[in-house]
């Protein structure tokens, strides 16, 4: 057995082990340019996305001289004017008819102002044989007008107006005047204002539901 060779192998093995330990310590020991940075794992709350359009409203103190109420309403001045005109024209045309005209002529005047459901109701009423016959007997001629009284309710897409209809009626050779107040709800559907409900004011609805 060669003791010298065995001793040399042990010394080489010991030297390699010491070198590995020193290398590990060198790699582990923090250096100025590689100081570990403590990581904050606390989740960061993301900011809520900004609205595409600022919400309506008035932030500044209201000035009575320049207060714009339309900033607080679901539609602007032009839409309100169109809705009001629709309601007023409807009541005036609804009260205008003659005994010697066809129901279709009467309905054609109303068609642009009403939705399909209201038109169907008007068609049924205007085509009633009893009403048509009585108007022919009395030779009834009615000229309608309308005045806007107030706004009953405002919905997201509709306005309900109180409108007084005034008729000058000639029948059986006599002429008289009659008036009646209506609750007329006008709705914006697809950019067009149409009457979708009308009833006598005392029983009329308060506007859109849902």
Stated pTM of the model = 0.69
CATH for 76-200 (3.40.980.10, 3.90.1010.10, 3.10.450.230, 3.40.630.30) = 3.10.450.230
DSSP annotation string for the chain: --HHHHHHHHHHHHHHHHHHHHHHHHHHS--GGGPPPPP--PPPPPPPPPPSSPPP---SPP-TTT--GGGGSSS-HHHHHHHHHHHHHHHHHHT-EETTS-HHHHHHHHGGGB-HHHHHHHHHHHT-HHHHHHHHHHT-EEEEEEEEEEEEEE-SSEEEEEEEEEEEEEETTEEEEEEEEEEEEEEEETTEEEEEEEEETTT---S---
Residues 106-125 pLDDT 10s: 999 999 999 999 999 999 99
Residues 32-76 pLDDT 10s: 554 544 555 555 444 444 434 445 677 888 888 888 888 888 999
Hey, where are the domains in the chain?
3-28, 76-200
Residues 5-34 pLDDT 10s: 565 666 655 555 555 555 554 455 555 554
């Amino acid at each position: 057995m060669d003791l010298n060779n065995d001793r040399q192998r042990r010394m080489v093995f010991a030297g390699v082990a010491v070198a590995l330990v020193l290398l590990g310590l060198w790699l582990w020991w923090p250096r100025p340019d590689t100081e570990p940075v403590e990581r904050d794992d606390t989740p960061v709350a993301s900011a809520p996305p900004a609205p595409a359009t600022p919400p309506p409203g008035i932030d500044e103190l209201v000035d009575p001289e320049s207060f714009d109420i339309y900033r607080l309403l679901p539609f602007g001045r032009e839409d309100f004017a169109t809705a009001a005109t629709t309601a007023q024209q409807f009541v005036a045309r609804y009260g205008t008819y003659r005994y010697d005209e066809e129901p279709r002529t009467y309905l054609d005047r109303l068609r642009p102002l009403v939705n399909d459901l209201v038109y169907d109701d008007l068609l049924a009423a205007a085509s009633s044989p009893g009403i048509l016959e009585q108007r022919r007997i009395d030779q009834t001629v009615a000229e309608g007008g309308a005045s806007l009284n107030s706004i009953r309710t405002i919905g997201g897409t509709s306005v309900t107006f109180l409108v007084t209809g005034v008729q000058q009626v000639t029948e059986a050779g006599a002429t008289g005047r009659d008036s009646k107040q209506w609750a007329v709800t006008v709705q914006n559907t697809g950019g067009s204002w149409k009457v979708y409900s009308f009833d006598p004011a005392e029983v009329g609805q308060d506007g859109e539901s849902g």
